[in-house]
Amino acid sequence: MSEDTSKLGIGTDEWVAQHEKRLQRRAGLPGVIDLLNQRVSNRVRYSVLALVAIFFGLFVHNLYLLRIASNLGVFLMMTLGINIVMGFAGLLDLGFVAFYGFGAYAYALTSSSQLNQHWPTYLSVPAIVIVTAFLGYLVSLPSRRLFGDYLAIVTLFFGQIFIQLVLSSDSITFPGHTDSTDITGGSNGIPGLDPFRLFGRAFKSTTDYYWLLVVVLTLLLIAIVRIDRTRVGRAWRTIREDTLASQSMGIKVNNLKTLAFVVGAAIAGLAGAIFAGIQDAVFINGFDIPLLTLIYAAVILGGSGSIPGSIIGAFVMSVLPEILRVQNYSEFLFLAVLLVTIAVIGKNLKKFAINIGALVVIGYPVKALFYLSHLTTTPTKVWAIAPVSKVLQYWLVLPANRIVWGNMAFIALIALVAYYSIAHEAIKPWLLPFIAYIAIFLWEDRLVADASTTRQLIIGAMLVVMMIVRPQGFLGKARVEVL
């Protein structure tokens, strides 16, 4: 029994007794995050976000950047939607992407030549939102009796049903007809969609859809923030913490669960319709499990139940994959993250300088060892392309068989990181430079050339580190667990 615990009186709760201690500001980066989370009001956060969005739309004319921003807006809508279902109400909905896909395909079927339907936007989009909300109501019915893993399995099954229905609906024969009808286009999708037309204006460019998303997200954020402050929002959070206690207090648990599903589905349907308009086509491969993983990762990274956290998580999960596509940007990002990690672990400038010096020293003997062993190496003109790699070519050497050496480096990195977590404090300073060197070697040898694998590894690493350092997410609130 600890000294602090031994001083507690009978009937005194240890967690409550440590309340003042927990409120003290922590040192380092976690303390800065806590300070920003506590001192910066939501009004300031949303005002800064609005100004950044407006200035970006006014002064940025690069189509690629505008497309990234538009995709970020759609992704943010989905993150806010799933945050209501999972973050507010605590319902694990793994079929959420199906609502998003339904909205996209519904817009494609009502605004294209696929079924010769060309509805006005002011009719098609509201109808899509209403029908998607009703679909959310149907999916929510099992949540009245299921929870946790059981609900997750049922909703995941719903998501897979949607994918199979879309793929198999390219050749349907209706009763009384001999010819088959192509409804969804199957794996070929539906191209050539009608653009949005609102208030006499046709949305033909990415810039038009960007401003549409700015308006929609502004209204959506205002609505969600206001709902969060109402009795419904507080009741959702109560259900998330303890369903039985909420029910005993007179809260209509089943109705509120259904409402969370309906609101989340409606937001996803609206996001899908806007996404279809931006892309001018829909394809089923954009509504599968990887997208669902990114959405949940965004909510967890930002903080489940936190609206500003959802914005941060959506930004990271949407923009980071685009940065990793370009070698110049990805290498700078990797190097910056590595230096920040070494600085955080070192905790002071002296240890940081020692770790960097040791890292530099390790590189030259390893390079000399490669040459003395007469191992065939990859020519520097092949891998030293970006500015960072051009600098590293004087310090780093890559073998010719990069796949084999990269796999061995990956295994060694995992083993060293695992050992570092349990190693004695006196050994950790010696391990860190070797871990950093292997990480750089692995990055330049394999990861920088494989953007898809790199994205998955980095996202997974971020989530693991976040769960260890800050389990409640970047802006989430710590929960009290009674064990």
Cα(229)–Cα(220) distance, rounded to whole angstroms? 14
Same structural domain, 149 and 254: yes
Q: What is the pLDDT of residues 134-166, one digit of tens each?
A: 999 998 887 777 777 788 888 888 888 999 999
Does 473 map to a domain?
no
Q: Are 269 and 131 in contact (CB under 8 A)?
A: yes
Does 455 map to a domain?
no
Number of separate domains in the chain: 3
* pLDDT at residue 410, as a whole number: 87
Which regions of the chain are under pLDDT 70?
Answer: 1-40, 451-452, 462, 464-470, 474, 476-483
Does 87 map to a domain?
yes
How much of the chain is in helix, strand and coil states, percent to nearest 5? Answer: 70, 5, 25
Does 475 map to a domain?
no
Same structural domain, 120 and 247: yes
List of residues 6+ apart from 52 with CB closer than 8 A? none
Domain holding 285: CATH number?
1.10.3470
Does 33 map to a domain?
no
Same structural domain, 134 and 201: yes
Using CA of residue 304, residue 305, residue 306, residue 312, what is the dihedral sign?
positive
Q: Which residue range forms the structural domain that includes residue 1?
A: 1-28
Answer with the one of 293, 325, 357 that is the final residue of a domain: 325
Cα(339)–Cα(429) distance, rounded to whole angstroms? 15
Same structural domain, 147 and 284: yes
Distance from chain centroid for Cα 257: 24
This prediction's pTM = 0.81
Structure-block tokens of residue 244: 């039985």
List of residues 6+ apart from 288 with CB closer than 8 A? 97, 163
Q: What is the pLDDT of residues 42-63, one digit of tens each?
A: 778 788 889 999 999 999 889 9
* pLDDT at residue 8, as a whole number: 47
* pLDDT at residue 83, as a whole number: 94
Same structural domain, 124 and 213: yes
Same structural domain, 334 and 318: no
* pLDDT at residue 3, as a whole number: 47
Same structural domain, 140 and 257: yes
* pLDDT at residue 286, as a whole number: 84
Cα(80)–Cα(93) distance, rounded to whole angstroms? 13
Does 467 map to a domain?
no
Cα(446)–Cα(261) distance, rounded to whole angstroms? 42
Same structural domain, 300 and 172: yes
Structure-block tokens of residue 313: 């998580």
Does 130 map to a domain?
yes
Does 55 map to a domain?
yes
Same structural domain, 312 and 340: no
* pLDDT at residue 288, as a whole number: 84
Q: Tell me the sheet residues that pair with 399.
A: 377
Cα(299)–Cα(76) distance, rounded to whole angstroms? 10
DSSP one-letter string for 211-257: HHHHHHHHHHHHHHHHHHTSHHHHHHHHHHH-HHHHHHTT--HHHHH
Same structural domain, 307 and 415: no
Q: What is the dihedral of CA 62, 65, 70, 73, to 10 degrees?
A: -140
* pLDDT at residue 422, as a whole number: 85
DSSP one-letter string for 111-158: EETTTTEE--HHHHHHHHHHHHHHHHHHHHGGGGT--THHHHHHHHHH
* pLDDT at residue 482, as a whole number: 45
Same structural domain, 265 and 169: yes
* pLDDT at residue 15, as a whole number: 47
Same structural domain, 207 and 268: yes
